[in-house]
Amino acid sequence: MTSLRTMPRARTSHVGLAILALALGGFAIGTTEFVTMGLLPDIADGIDESIPTTGHIISAYAFGVVVGAPVIVSLAARLPRRELAIGLVLALGLGNAITALAHGYWEVMAARFISGLPHGAYFGVASLVAVSLVAPERRGRAVSGVMLGLTVATLVGVPAGTVLGQQLGWRSAYWAVLGLTIVTASLILLFVPHQPGNPHATVRAELTALRRPQVLFAVSAGMVGFGGVFAMYSYIAPVVTDVTDLSRGTIPAFVFAFGVGSVAGTWLAGRLADWDVERTVLAGFAVLVATLVAFALAAGLAVPAFALVMVVGALGSVLAINLQVRLMHVAGDAQMLGVALNHSALNIANGLGAWFGSIVIAAGFGYRAPSFVGAALAVGGLVIFAVGLAGSRSEARPVSGASTE
């Protein structure tokens, strides 16, 4: 059985450019995923629907990620990895082209679902390709290099796409993402070496990863614990205006702070993964609990709230990437599926966090309450991961008095 630590290394003289090409695909994914939020009023006007109703297209994309990740990876594990990455990023471009051409609510809804399908599978194959290009002690940093494209998109791609969509019409943002995917596919073809797929892979063999307790524990920890980030962050705008008592014009600064924290956390996450993945996840959840409680208590103070939003952004990236590396370690030969499942879990976490946050707000507990809910979810993630880790260590411990013959 091949593990992440024993994966053979691919040879190329353009390691940096190869990882940059793969990261550009993450940049395109991050841009298309989040630019919809910035353009939601424009899209609603364009398809003649209300903003709350149009907001369902965001859920449609997330549902596409959840469905597409395990299905595509299971069916495509035999394909050469470079060519699979190119196919997935071009499929992303096609989904954006369909979005730009769509008219009417249901057409846009379907287009966003299609756009989400390649998301998790792309990160699965891109992460495996990236780790195969570097020495074993740098493989955590290789994964974070690919994921850096996603976080940089929140700082550059999403604001730029939002401005473009506001000035030239919302469809122009999705046409721009199509252009990004074409450039990405060209760079991957130029700089990423050919790598064969797994000739022995079958759908059944890939899905056996779901029977591994450690895979299920890691996925569950992400699904529950990572929801804590979005229980708080989904309601950052009303917190800024109603609790911190700042103007609407300051909301972008807090969003930017979250993005800066995410980028910094992505850089840090790779180094922490190369140090100790399990300890990083445990510490990350513990610090997230404390940070969310601190944010709930200090949300009325502008400077502490601003700093804590940045910390939450960083912790989100650290946890997402280290859970991804953990799944690559424990998924056996189905490493690509492990990464894809992580992205499915995190998208479910986004929805769960926002949903639980909305429940406590609707119950009249105020806009600080989602952060307390987020802290509870992070505690849940910590407990699930710790129980799984204890189980893996007890399985690895030799039975006292067992024969060694």
What are the pLDDT digits (tens) for 233-247? Answer: 878 878 888 899 988
In this predicted structure, the answer to whether residue 402 has a pLDDT above a threshold of 50 is: no
What are the pLDDT digits (tens) for 376-386? Answer: 999 999 999 99
What are the pLDDT digits (tens) for 221-231? Answer: 999 999 999 88
Give the count of beta carbons closer than 10 Å to the beta carbon of residue 198.
17
Confidence of residue 403 (pLDDT cuts 50, 70, 90): very low
In this predicted structure, the answer to whether residue 7 has a pLDDT above a threshold of 60 is: no
Q: Which two tokens stand for residue 35?
A: 């630019």
What are the pLDDT digits (tens) for 193-205? Answer: 988 877 766 666 6
In this predicted structure, the answer to whether residue 399 has a pLDDT above a threshold of 60 is: no
Query: Which H/E stretch holds residue 278?
Result: helix 277-298
What are the pLDDT digits (tens) for 320-364? Answer: 999 988 988 887 777 777 778 888 888 888 878 888 888 888 889
How does DSSP classify residue 157? I
Q: Rounded to an integer, what distance in angstroms lies between the CA atom of residue 229 and that of residue 347?
A: 12
- Give the chain's domains with CATH numbers: 1-201 (1.20.1250.20), 208-393 (1.20.1250.20)
Residue 281 is predicted with a pLDDT of 96
Residue 99 is predicted with a pLDDT of 96
Q: Rounded to an integer, what distance in angstroms lies between the CA atom of residue 214 and that of residue 259?
A: 31
Mean pLDDT of the chain: 86
Q: Which two tokens stand for residue 311?
A: 């910390």
Buried b / exposed e over 63-90, threshold 16 CB at 10 Å, is: bbbbebbbebbbebbebebbbbbbbbbb
Confidence of residue 39 (pLDDT cuts 50, 70, 90): confident
Residue 13 is predicted with a pLDDT of 63
Q: Which of these, 216, 220, 224, lies nearest to 376 by C-alpha position? A: 224
What are the pLDDT digits (tens) for 46-62? Answer: 999 887 788 788 888 98
How does DSSP classify residue 235? T
